[in-house]
Chain A
């Protein structure tokens, strides 16, 4: 740390800690010790404070010792001459800055000043603020007229699988204001193209990159991987709260394990700080805090550099003055700047080169095309859209052939709708028919990667929208083919040698192929229904999450998919074929030990190896005995309610209170981290409809409570399960958060609805 940086950072830290103390004292006086403080939808209290100090801050008074700790970590600025060392002192001051910044944001929440209001601003997906309801007016999604503030646990977990499997390499905390609006857009686009999350905060002379992007019409929010925290530097603390929670959620680390949490981030979370524009004292101070996490700082201005390594993996502070970057124009300079950031952090990034006229990358997967921006849609209410992937013999497929049969959409009126079918034929020596649905499901992700294109659903309920922006730039029907051809080769090159795509809009052919596709869907459904655990002799391991949750291992069977919901048995099988040394390995079942509870010698042996000895045995079908562990990206949590002799199922999307007295976020802390906790399990939601769903403990009839979002979104599947279980009205007997949020109410409900669990044998 050069003495210059140390001086500025320590000065900034002293100033911010003092500011935080003043704000805290004011709040203590005006609001009182016991006024609750919290960030929305998180079980991790004020996450940075929780992680670093182990303190669960629940009310204003709890912040007092936190600020005392921050104060104790401050140091004097180094002398002009005969200085004592300053690196350790600066890093400590940086940590004090983070504690102070989180304290300030917490106090601002108390005063209703967070999330930061911004007139007329609309978030493209963001943290749900259940209260105060100021922004939740009728017809609004709660995402209007304010920036995002902290990222909530729900979003953290739903990004979880992408973070852990490397699709999302990390995040960039962008602080300040870019050289121009065009540069701001370019930087964000370059990062999005690499699937790097962008967290935006800070300003230079009152102008923030958030203003710049907004002026250029860039959508900001969860959906676009570009989250506006706030227009001051203090809000950058939310990035570190996110980082801290990654370690707590996926790393199995406990609050207060500060060193481990920081090292986890250094080693596993590929994040960096990009400081745009002038770096002031506070930015230096916050950067010193970020360096504790192993996150380097790259500035586009002239600042002293810190090149030796150690606290971070590569250089600590790098200066890349924008004017001195080589490049024919600002945009090329911006691109180089982003490349430098990635180099300094050592992020491994895979960029898809897809030849379409719009930006492409998974960062655009969540983009929504709204009615107002819509050029044309396929599927939905007014037309039919389907996609169908088939394998063919090698000589029947011409690689790279893209054919559009029927009219393009030039004659379809604006915001109009038309029928379309996407037929993909693939061929490869190791391709198997079983992989067809695996590959077909990828069409959703591949198509969604194009900016200005939205894809929902699958098979014959696919629904695709193209925005005016994309259409204006020349996105055509043929573009779908180009995307699919490029991405299937890139991601599935090991099993796919040739890819040919046909886009059908011709009405006659459309009908014809839709019929063929439906026949194939039926065939696959039957195949899937027949594919039961007792019909195979191997399951698959899934250790994708081990980069984040080092001791967790999923055992994926035909009747139990991975807890993230993203990998079923066929996916794993395909994945193994693609990468024989990858995270999905076949587990030979070997000798059956107990069919009811689901023990095989092979699965037990593997559990030991895969968990590095943490877990000794794993039961495939029981929640009560050696249940499967979880990383942190499960879709829902199943938890025993002892009084009800049954279990509840809480969805990740449900923020309400449950009869267990805890919200999803709090429960997730118990379920995650690779630990075996009898009575608690994180699962994929489609496991609920499996005949093997906690079959050792009585199966689906044990479900006494379930988040309404699951009941509604999976109504068809669940009703089918109820039929199968011989109790067609079972779903209505299952309580949800709309009526029941305590154990007492739950018991009354079960009594009133004559739920079968009450009469079943005791669970333990």
Chain B
């Protein structure tokens, strides 16, 4: 058993601290306490355990040692990393695939409740691929785009099409290194194949494919997810929102959506505004429905609809601990199985919705895009029906929340720097060239209970701001800054160095720009590409003074993101344990594109 930590060591977030004290009172465990109890395997965490076949698992501990098959440490670590990247890429890409199917269904008029909200973005995206837009109805364009996007997953030869949106020089480099993804699924399948027992056993060659798989995520699967989400639900623009557990309301039916995909959560937002449903909630004795989000579903509806975020990854259990949540509706990714057991101590229903994700003991109401609104209403009714079961003696909501301004899509960043007529990245490039800001840091990724929640995120962000570095964030990192008040224009005047302050004041931006969910890291790729195209900083992404950081990473998706960022030319730093700590030098050599 690891050392038992004090509550203030678990999290720097005072709301989280209050809830962890509450958990202690109720003698309930959380990921924080489980992390204390569960010592990580130091062989596995360094990527030195091989369980690819029945001859093992082989646990390598010394340099020069080999597995039963003779696999070297290099091979084993490369294989483990590649499998993790493939899983991360698969998660993002499967999300992207579902979005592409949703676009297709919407274009065909078969998706109840959905419409094409952002025709301008549809036309823009279509034009990247020479899909004819002039004189065509949005549905027609969307149909063709959906077919093209769907085909990217099963494509066997050639190059995935979104890769042509990268800087020219970068594309050339990828071709020279033979790492341009052919099709998303093919690269993931090949990753699994190559890392099977007795296949690819040249670590450099394995990692080359890891790069290709990572690129299939960043420049296909994830990018498709972001594009389609914007087309269907609107490209985000700044909007006032709130974050932290204080957004849960005492007198309302609290529904928390958690997971990653916007397809269902957007419908729940729509359904929650339905007068009939509101009436139903009031009839149940509440003052209405209060929706909030956790994790990246939170980010999706926060940046488009201003729906408050109850918190980031490690807040999922804490939200249930408030005793005031009628339903936690989950879809895919980063959903702890512990939720179900924890919820049994309260009236909270855990509702799984994805055909891909069921959790033993949870209520399952399966999502189907063809009748999404109906299902969303059904879910809300289930939550409302549960309101009467709330035990007032067990509710404890920390009165802590923070206002924030999310919604910085690359389209909006482009707009905000010059308006409709002069939109461009010129002012940003100028600001870097003139030294007003020293560069851009993308601080992304998860929470990890092995470190103090939000501590590293916030420490790094605050220090960089003082050094005149503009920070962009996605995912759980963004919510961490949000909870701290760094996503407000005011922070741009008080928390930053003098150069960055001038920029924040000129544009009216917070010093930390919330760019979306973790799948939206592709927005950062687009920003970097546009900075290259604007000129003055260099002809490729590796010339831009930009860094990617994931201080509190934990998911395999983070590894996939890191890989495509490195392969796109960005400098990447990870906090916490390295999955390949046995061979850090070789990794950095190999992946430095």
For residue B430, which residues in chain A have a CB less than 8 angstroms away from its CB? 308-310
Partner of B417, one of A78, A94, A310: A310
Set of chain A residues within 8 Å of B488, measured between Cβ atoms: 82
Q: Assess whether B490 is interfacial by the CB under 8 Å rule.
A: yes
Indicate if A477 sits at the interface (CB-CB under 8 A): no
Confirm or deny: B101 has a beta carbon within 8 angstroms of a beta carbon on chain A: no
A85–B238 touching, CB < 8 Å: yes
- B residues contacting the other copy or chain, number (CB 8 A): 33
On whether the beta carbons of B421 and A310 are closer than 8 Å, the reply is no
Contact B436 A88 (CB under 8 A): no
Q: Does chain A have a CB within 8 A of B507?
A: yes
Judge whether A84 and B427 touch: CB under 8 Å: no
Determine if B489 and A310 form an interchain contact, defined as CB atoms under 8 angstroms apart.
no
Q: Does A83 contact B (CB under 8 A)?
A: yes
A509 to B505, CA, bound (A): 73
The A/B interface has a contact count, at CB < 8 Å, of 103
Whether the pair B240, A82 counts as a contact (CB closer than 8 A) is yes
A259 and B508 form a contact (CB under 8 A): no
The verdict on B420 contacting chain A, using a C-beta distance below 8 Å, is yes
Q: Is the CB of B588 closer than 8 A to any CB of chain A?
A: no
Min C-beta distance of B15 to chain A, whole Å: 19
Q: Is A713 in the interface zone, CB < 8 Å from B?
A: no
Of B239, B420, B421, B508, the residue contacting A78 (CB under 8 A) is B508
- The contact string, 1 if C-beta is below 8 Å from chain B, for chain A 249-282, is 0000000001100110000000000000000000
Bound form: Cα–Cα A262–B505 in Å: 24
B98: Cβ under 8 A from any A Cβ: no
- Which residues from 193 to 209 on chain A have a C-beta closer than 8 Å to any C-beta of chain B? none
Question: Closest residue of chain B to A92, judged by CB?
Answer: B419
Q: Which of B417, B421, B503 contacts A292 (CB 8 A)?
A: B421
Q: Which of A3, A88, A91, A95 has the most CB of B within 10 A?
A: A88
CB under 8 Å from chain B, chain A span 64-122: 73, 78, 81-92, 94-95
Residues 423-441 of B at the A interface (beta carbon under 8 Å): 423-424, 426-431, 434, 436
Which residues of chain B from 493 to 538 have a CB within 8 Å of any chain A CB?
A: 502-503, 505-509
Instruction: Determine how close the nearest CB of chain A comes to the CB of B565; give it in whole angstroms.
Output: 26
Q: Mark A180-219, 1 if CB is under 8 A from B, else 0.
A: 0000000000000000000000000000000000000000
Interchain CB contact under 8 A, A6 and B508: yes
Chain B residues near A78 (CB-CB < 8 A): 508
Does A63 reach chain B (CB closer than 8 Å)? no
Complex contacts, A316 vs chain B, CB 8 Å: 506
* In the complex, B575 has a CB within 8 A of chain A: no
Q: A496 vs B78: C-alpha distance in the bound complex, in angstroms?
A: 76
Q: Are B421 and A308 in contact (CB under 8 A)?
A: no
Q: Which of B238, B420, B428, B509 contacts A92 (CB 8 A)?
A: B420
User: With A82-B240, A84-B405, A85-B507 as given contacts, are A311 and B427 in contact (CB-CB < 8 Å)?
Assistant: yes
With a cutoff of 8 Å between Cβ atoms, the chain A residues found around residue B418 in the complex are 87-88, 91, 310-311
B502 in contact with A258 (CB, 8 Å):
no
Q: What chain A residues lie within 8 Å of B419 (beta carbons)?
A: 87-92, 94-95, 292
CA distance A95 to B422 in the complex (A): 11
Chain B residues with CB under 8 Å of A306's CB are 506
CB nearest neighbor in A for B503: A308
Per-residue contact bits, chain A 1-26, to B (CB 8 Å; 1 contact, 0 not): 11100100000000000000000000
Residues of A within 8 A of B427 (CB): 308-311
Interface size in chain A (residues, C-beta < 8 A): 33
Q: Which of B416, B429, B431 contacts A87 (CB 8 A)?
A: B416
Which of chain B's residues 242-296 have a Cβ closer than 8 Å to chain A? Answer: none
Q: A620 near B: Cβ within 8 Å?
A: no
Whether A88 lies near B420 (C-beta < 8 A) is: yes
CB distance A3 to B505 under 8 Å? yes
A1 and B422 form a contact (CB under 8 A): no
Known: A309-B430, A309-B434, A310-B430. A91 touches B509 (CB 8 A): no
CB-nearest residue of chain B to A291: B422
Residue of A nearest to B239 (CB): A84
Instruction: With A82-B240, A83-B508, A308-B436 as known contacts, state yes or no: A95 contacts B489, CB within 8 Å.
Output: no
What's the minimum C-beta distance from A255 to chain B, rounded to whole angstroms?
Answer: 14
Task: Report yes or no: A259 in contact with B422, Cβ–Cβ below 8 A.
Answer: yes
B507 cross-chain contacts in A, Cβ below 8 A: 1, 85-87
**Is B144 in the interface zone, CB < 8 Å from A?**
no
Knowing A307-B502, A308-B503, say if A262 contacts B238 (CB, 8 Å): no
Q: How far is the CB of A6 from chain B (nearest CB, A)?
A: 7
A310 to B418, CA, bound (A): 8
In the complex, the answer to whether B490 meets A88 with C-beta atoms within 8 Å is no
Q: Is the CB of A81 within 8 A of B508?
A: no
Using Cβ atoms and an 8 Å threshold, which residues of chain B touch A292? 419, 421-422
Q: Does A234 contact B (CB under 8 A)?
A: no
CA distance A87 to B426 in the complex (A): 14
Would you give the 0/1 interface string for A309-341, flagging 1 where the beta carbon is closer than 8 Å to chain B? 111000010000000000000000000000000
CB < 8 Å: which of B405, B417, B436 contacts A82? B405
Measured between beta carbons, the chain B residues less than 8 angstroms from A564 are: none
Known contacts A308-B434, A309-B427, A311-B427; A2/B506 CB under 8 A? yes
Q: Decide yes or no whether B415 CB sits under 8 A from chain A.
A: yes
CA of A258 to CA of B424 in the docked complex: distance in angstroms? 14
A225 to B: closest C-beta gap in Å: 29
B156 to chain A, nearest CB (A): 40
Tell me if A87 and B421 are in contact (CB < 8 A): no
CB distance from A261 to the nearest CB of B (A): 9
Chain A contacts of B208 at CB under 8 A? none
A52 within 8 Å of B (CB atoms): yes
B202 within 8 Å of A by Cβ? no
Cβ distance A642 to chain B, nearest Cβ, rounded Å: 33
> Chain A contacts of B428 at CB under 8 A?
310
Contacts of A83 in B (CB 8 A): 405, 489, 508
Q: State how many angstroms separate the Cβ of A253 from the closest Cβ of chain B.
A: 14
Measured between beta carbons, the chain A residues less than 8 angstroms from B424 are: 310
Q: Within 8 Å of chain A (Cβ to Cβ): is B94?
A: no
CA distance A570 to B431 in the complex (A): 48
| B403 CB–A CB distance under 8 Å | yes
CA distance A57 to B419 in the complex (A): 24
Q: Give the CA-CA distance A437 to B508 in the complex, in Å.
A: 60
With A308-B503, A311-B427 known as contacts, the answer to whether A52 contacts B240 (CB < 8 A) is: no
Distance A82 CA – B490 CA, assembled complex (angstroms): 7
Interchain nearest-CB distance for B431 vs A (Å): 6
Given A84-B240, A262-B422, A308-B405 contact (CB < 8 Å): no
CB-CB under 8 A from A263, the residues of chain B are 422
Instruction: Write out the residue numbers on chain B whose beta carbons fall within 8 Å of the beta carbon of A1.
Output: 506-508
B210-246 Cβ-contact flags toward A at 8 Å (1 or 0): 0000000000000000000000000000111000000
Contact of B420 among A86, A95, A310, A311 (CB under 8 A): A95
Across the interface, which residues of B come within 8 angstroms of A94, CB to CB?
419
B416 and A82: CB pair below 8 A?
Answer: no
Contacts of A308 in B (CB 8 A): 427, 430-431, 434, 436, 502-503, 506
Q: Are A87 and B508 in contact (CB under 8 A)?
A: yes
**Known A88-B415, A309-B427; contact A73-B420, beta-carbon cutoff 8 A:** yes
B436 closest partner in A (C-beta): A308
Q: Specify which of A3, A85, A89, A311 is in contact with B422 (CB 8 Å cutoff).
A: A311
Q: Which of A2, A52, A82, A307 contacts B421 (CB 8 A)?
A: A52
Residues of B within 8 A of A81 (CB): 490
Find chain A residues with CB under 8 A from B434 CB: 308-309
Give me 9 other A-B pairs in contact (C-beta within 8 A), A85-B507, A308-B427 excluded: A85-B238, A85-B509, A87-B419, A88-B420, A95-B420, A258-B421, A308-B434, A309-B430, A311-B426
Query: What are 24 A-B contacts with C-beta separation under 8 Å?
Result: A3-B505, A52-B421, A82-B405, A82-B488, A83-B405, A83-B489, A84-B238, A88-B417, A88-B419, A88-B420, A88-B423, A92-B421, A95-B420, A258-B421, A262-B421, A263-B422, A307-B502, A308-B430, A308-B506, A310-B426, A310-B427, A310-B428, A311-B418, A311-B426
Which 4 residue pairs of A and B lie closest in terms of their CB atoms, listed nearest first?
A: A310-B427, A91-B419, A86-B508, A84-B238
- A residues engaging B (CB < 8 A)? 1-3, 6, 52, 73, 78, 81-92, 94-95, 258-259, 262-263, 292, 306-311, 316
